[in-house]
Amino acid sequence: MPVDNPTGSTDHLNGLEEVKLRIGKKGAMITIKSRREIEIMRDTSRIVAEVLNELRLCCKAGVTTLELDSIAEERTKKLGAEPAFKGYRGFPKALCTSINHQVVHGIPGNTILNEGDIISLDFGALYRSYFSDAALTVPIGAISPEVEKLLRITEECLYLGIEKLLPDNHLSDLSRAIQTHAESNGFSLVKEFGGHGIGRRLHEDPMVLNYVSNGRGIKLRPGLVLAIEPMVNMGADEVQILSDGWTVVTLDGKPSAHFEHTVAITDNGPEILTKVA
């Protein structure tokens, strides 16, 4: 679920407790997870990945988004976890379902999936006091070549960004990789929402922009866990929030795609925690 818009020794990572770092005098409070915390987050992330994989297989013409939400919640509870989004800031469901021109935060209901639609499934879980979060966009049957390209480029943006999650890189390295790939292929990036840190809270610092802003951003270091989630529009980047207070749509009515992984930065680079094996 998107949020509104020094390296040295890693010996401390063996403990259970996170380390908090203040970036700048009034900057973000960054939490560095211990190895034991990341191990718990691996378990949470496996649950998220398993639920999303099951949902992907259930996305067919004739299925309602409410049915998908029920599958997500029931499966999560069977696995011993709780849906992260239900009740979060008043969100009423376990799953975000955003169809076609809906960007993020769509609320499941009686909407029926039709052939040629695309649906973004954004799901999070809470397990043993730690959160994980991931998303993917699924085609319903055959889709146009233009929309197929949108999905492909958005997913490529995600992995190109993740490749930049290396110790001593800066957050802007990720942002630049995502922005360059999306815009060089004729698409635009949603700027009002972005990725985020994640751990004991669903949304932690830092905010992860999908475009380059001022400065280089924080220096990356082992133990940082981030939810990376490019949201890419076929048309212009402008969006608006509908009257339900949640559903974000493209202003021009053109399709949007969304892919996300929860990723831990290790001494050896990024580890995708929510990747389906």
Look at residue 5 in the predicted model and tell me its pLDDT.
73
Quote the number of domains for the chain.
1
Contact by Cβ (8 Å): 130, 200 = yes
* CATH number of residue 262's parent domain: 3.90.230.10
Q: Is residue 6 a part of any domain in this protein?
A: no
78 CB-near residues (< 8 Å, 6+ apart):
none
Q: Is residue 73 a part of any domain in this protein?
A: yes
CA neighbor of 191 nearest in space, from 199, 200, 182: 182
Domain span holding position 172: 32-272
Q: Is residue 156 a part of any domain in this protein?
A: yes
Contact by Cβ (8 Å): 30, 21 = yes
Coil, helix or strand at residue 45: helix
Q: Is residue 25 a part of any domain in this protein?
A: no
Q: Is residue 12 a part of any domain in this protein?
A: no
Look at residue 23 in the predicted model and tell me its pLDDT.
55
Residues 210-235 have pLDDT tens digits of: 999 888 889 999 999 999 999 999 99
Q: Is residue 182 a part of any domain in this protein?
A: yes
Q: Is residue 23 a part of any domain in this protein?
A: no
Contact by Cβ (8 Å): 187, 197 = no
Burial of 142-156, coded b for 16+ CB within 10 Å and e otherwise, reads: ebeeebebbbebbbb
Contact by Cβ (8 Å): 86, 73 = yes
Contact by Cβ (8 Å): 233, 253 = no
Q: Is residue 7 a part of any domain in this protein?
A: no
Q: Which two tokens stand for residue 2?
A: 């998107």
Q: What is the pLDDT along the chain (277 residues), one digit of tens a residue?
A: 887 773 233 334 444 555 666 554 456 689 999 999 999 999 999 999 999 999 999 999 999 999 999 999 999 999 999 999 999 999 999 999 999 999 999 999 999 999 999 999 999 999 999 999 999 999 999 999 999 999 999 999 999 999 999 999 999 999 999 999 999 999 999 999 999 999 999 999 999 999 998 888 899 999 999 999 999 999 999 999 999 999 999 999 999 999 999 999 999 999 999 997 6
